């Protein structure tokens, strides 16, 4: 899962980014509204953390332009404690949720998990596909109750497929959502990670759809 953090306070931006990275997300950063708008308009994100008070272009304007241009990714806005009007303006502009400063990083993580789940049509923090279970709160997965030992890349790939269960996901989409903008992207590496995951899962859960990509579903249509 790939997240964009748009926050002009460099220390706070770094803290949020590091917490998200530790939780298994791929994170891009921006420190002003213009840069944030550009990234959100040109890169595919699973969610955005957007501060309201930004230089160059304020967060409300950034959000309004994204929504006007059809960008539908979930957006979590950051607002000042005593500015209830910012919350109203943010929601009216198309925000999906908000957090008031100061906040605990754990709240950011929890709200982002919920936004990403809901955007993919899931209500529960635990995603299930046959014998496979993935807990989005703990970033852990198991098959038939046996914990899986996954690398960070394998977990990101599995989590993305689980969030989009039963849908065909192309290699290009996986590359765009599993790596940050500075990564030397090569879609061939996706095949390697898929192969590793298949061996670790031990079940026929990841289907190759010829010429299209991959689909995660229960074996034999179960």
Provide the CATH number for the domain around residue 52.
3.40.50.2300
Q: Last residue of a domain, which of 65, 96, 119?
A: 119
> What CATH number corresponds to the domain at position 191?
1.10.10.10
Q: Per-residue pLDDT tens for 69-82? A: 999 999 999 998 67
Model pLDDT, residue 220? 67
Whether 110 and 158 share a structural domain: no
The whole model's pTM is what?
0.86
Instruction: Name the DSSP class of 88.
Output: H
> Under DSSP, is residue 141 helix (H, G, I), strand (E, B) or coil?
strand
Co-location of 131 and 101 in the same domain: no
Same domain, 28 and 103: yes
- The whole-number pLDDT of residue 222 equals 46
- Residues 108, 26 share a domain: yes
What domain range includes position 190? 126-221
pLDDT tens, position by position, 83-141? 788 889 999 999 999 999 999 999 999 999 999 999 988 888 899 999 999 999 899 99
The strand ranges marked E within 2-67 are 2-6, 26-30, 47-51
Question: Per the structure, how many domains does the chain have?
Answer: 2
Domain boundary among 103, 119, 135: 119
Q: Are residues 136 and 107 in the same domain?
A: no
Cis peptide before 102 (omega within 30 of 0): yes
């Amino acid at each position: 899962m790939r997240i964009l953090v748009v926050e002009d306070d460099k220390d706070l931006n770094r803290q949020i980014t590091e917490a998200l990275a530790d939780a298994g997300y791929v994170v891009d950063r921006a420190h002003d509204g213009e840069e944030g708008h550009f990234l959100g308009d040109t890169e595919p994100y699973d969610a955005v953390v957007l501060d309201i008070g930004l230089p160059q272009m304020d967060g409300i304007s950034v959000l309004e332009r994204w929504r006007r241009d059809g960008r539908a990714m979930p957006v979590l806005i950051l607002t000042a404690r005593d500015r209830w009007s910012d919350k109203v303006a943010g929601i009216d502009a198309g925000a999906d949720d908000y957090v008031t400063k100061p906040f605990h990083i754990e709240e950011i993580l929890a709200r982002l998990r919920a936004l990403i789940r809901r955007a993919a049509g899931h209500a529960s923090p635990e995603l299930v596909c046959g014998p496979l279970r993935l807990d989005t709160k703990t970033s852990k997965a198991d098959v038939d109750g046996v914990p899986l030992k996954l690398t960070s890349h394998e977990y990101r790939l599995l989590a993305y497929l689980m969030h989009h269960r039963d849908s065909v996901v192309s290699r290009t989409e996986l590359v765009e959502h599993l790596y940050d903008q500075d990564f030397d992207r090569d879609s061939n590496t996706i095949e390697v990670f898929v192969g590793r995951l298949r061996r670790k899962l031990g079940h026929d859960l990841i289907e190759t759809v010829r010429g299209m990509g991959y689909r995660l579903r229960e074996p034999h249509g179960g």
